[in-house]
Structure 1
Amino acid sequence: MNVEGYIAGILPRNDGLIKIWKMYEAGRVTEDVFRDVLDKSIEDIISIQVENGFTYIHDPQIDWHDYFRIFTELDGIKAGPLTRYFENNTFYRKPIFEEFPKYREGLIADKTHIRYIPRDVKPILSLPGPYTFLRLSLFKNGVDPVKALSTLMYNALKEAFSIGYSKVILHEPSIAYEDDPDKDLLVSLYSELKDFQSNIRVHTYFGDVEKKSDILNELDVEGYSIDLQYT
C-alpha cells in the first residue's frame, strides 16, 4: 500500500526569524540581513520535508501573515481590521471588496517560493478556499461575492499551476465550523474551478464533518482532509 504524506498551511516561524523580523520592522537591521534569515528559514523547512521523504513538498509560506493578505494588494480589495480567525489566538485582516477585483498576473509567483524547492519533487501550496474566503470577507458597492471569489480563485489557481505547483490545498474551515454550510453556494463556487479539480484538495478543520460528507463529495475535487480532533 502506498501512503502519501505532506504538511499543509502557513508553516510556523522559528524563534530566530521572529526575532530578526521584529528588529527589521523596528529599523534595527537592513532588509538584506532580514532577507538572508528568511531565505535560510525557507530552505531549512523545505530540507526537512525532503529528508523525511514527504510525497509532496509544501511551500513554507512563512512570510504570509494570513491566507487572505496577499489578495488585499489587488485593485478592488483592501485590508480591513484585524479579526480573530475562528476560535483561536490568531488573527487576519478582513478582506473588504470595494469593487470587482482586478487580478494581477504574477501575484502568486511573487509571494511564493517554488524556486527554492528541488525540481525532482512535487511542490504544493496552500490557498484560501473560496467558501471560507467569502464567509470571512466584506463586500461593498454591489460586488457579487460568488462571481468575485470564483474569478479571483480561478486566476490564482491558474497561475499556481502554471509556475509548477502540482497540487493546491484549499483551506475551508468554514465548512467544518458551520453547523449547516450552504451547499448550493459551495457547489456554485467550486463549479467555477472545475478546470483544476483533479489537482485540488480541500482541507477542513475546526469542526466535525461526519454529517457533511455529501457536501464535500459534491465539490468534485481530488480529495479532502478532516480534523480528527472533531470528526
Structure 2
Amino acid sequence: MGRMLACRDLQLTLGGTPILRGVDAVFEGGAIAVVGRSGAGKTSLLHCLAGLRTPTAGEVTFDGASLAAMSEEDRARLRLERFGFVFQRAELLGELSLLENIALPLEMRGEPRRECARRAAELVERLDLSDCAGRRPDRVSGGQRQRAAVARAVVGRPAVVFADEPTGALDERNGRFVVDMLLQQCAHESAALVMVTHDAQWADLCDRRLTMADGVVAADDVSSASERASTGPQ
C-alpha cells in the first residue's frame, strides 16, 4: 500500500506531562481535518507525524518505514522530498520574494534552476499571485503570504501536506480562499492533506475528521463533504 502514513500507540510526554496518550491512526489520501479543543494534542500529533518531534513511545511509519529508525539526515530528506508544510503565519523567508520562497524547496533538492523557476511560476499563476510574485513577504497581504505558503508546500509534489492552523491569522474571506486553494492544490498534486484546525467550517470541507481529546483520538468520522460527494446531488 503506497504512500501511507500511520502511527501506532503514539505517546508524547513533555516536562512530565502526557500530551499524546496512545494514538492509533492511518492517513492515506484525501483531506483529513484534525480537530479538538486547545491542548487536545493536535499540533503535537502533527509534529510527530511529520518527523519534527520524536515521540516518547510508539511509532510513526511512512511507506512502511519507521521514522524513528531513520537518521536525522534521512528524516530531513523525507521532509524535503515527500512532505510539504503550511504554518499558521506562513513562515516565509523575509529576504526572498514570494516567487523565490515558492521555488526554494526545489532548489534545496538540487533541481535545475530552470525547472525550479518553471514550477514556481506555474503555481504563481494558478494561485493568482502574478501581481505580487516579485515582492517580499512584508510587502504583501496576509492572504497573499499564505497562498505563497500553500504554493511552497505543494511545489515539490509531496505525498503529504501538513497544515497547522493555516487560517489562524486570516479573516474569514481570506481563510476560505486559502483553504480552498490548499484543498485544490493537494488534489491536483495527488497529495494527502493533514490539517489541524479549530474551525468547523474548514473541517467540513475535508473528507475525514479526526477528533482529538486529552491526547487520544476520540472520534474518526467521514466528514459532511465526503458524505455529500458520495450521495451526489439531491
With normalisation by structure 1, the TM-score equals 0.37
Greater helix proportion: 1
Query: TM-score normalized by structure 2?
Result: 0.37
